[in-house]
């Protein structure tokens, strides 16, 4: 599945995270990878200075490393999530590039 880097795609990804009970915050920060995950609080912090393409790439990169229960997603989001998971670069449970920070 290929998708376009549009505001609509970004909103769709944000909705997917919302349905997975994660909060996305766009904050100023010094993140090496452009994002930070606070797993215990289910918060994803994205560098607010990233363009739409960077935000989408960060959210797609984070997706395999968070816990998403597909049964909690709406029908449309479930289909889209399944399509994202079928991507060749999607590796379930990868934590290679996860950056965590304490005291945000």
pLDDT tens, residue by residue, 4-49:
889 999 999 999 999 999 999 999 877 777 788 887 889 999 999 8
61 in Cβ contact with 84 (< 8 Å): no
**Is 98 inside any structural domain?**
no
Domain count, the chain: 1
Rounded distance, CA 3 to CA 84, Å? 10
**Is 26 inside any structural domain?**
yes
**Is 37 inside any structural domain?**
yes
pTM of the model: 0.78
**Is 62 inside any structural domain?**
yes
Q: Which domain holds residue 74?
A: 7-84
Q: Can you tell me the mean pLDDT for 70-97?
A: 77
Secondary structure (3-state) at 71: helix
**Is 95 inside any structural domain?**
no
């Amino acid at each position: 599945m290929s998708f376009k880097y549009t505001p609509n795609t970004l909103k769709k990804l944000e909705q997917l995270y919302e349905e997975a009970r994660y909060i996305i915050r766009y904050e100023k920060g010094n993140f090496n990878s452009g994002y930070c995950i606070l797993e215990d609080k289910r918060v994803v912090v994205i560098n607010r200075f990233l363009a739409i393409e960077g935000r989408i790439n960060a959210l797609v990169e984070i997706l395999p490393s968070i816990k998403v229960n597909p049964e909690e997603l709406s029908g449309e989001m479930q289909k889209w999530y399944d399509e994202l998971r079928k991507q060749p670069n999607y590796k379930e449970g990868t934590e290679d590039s996860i950056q965590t920070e304490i005291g945000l």
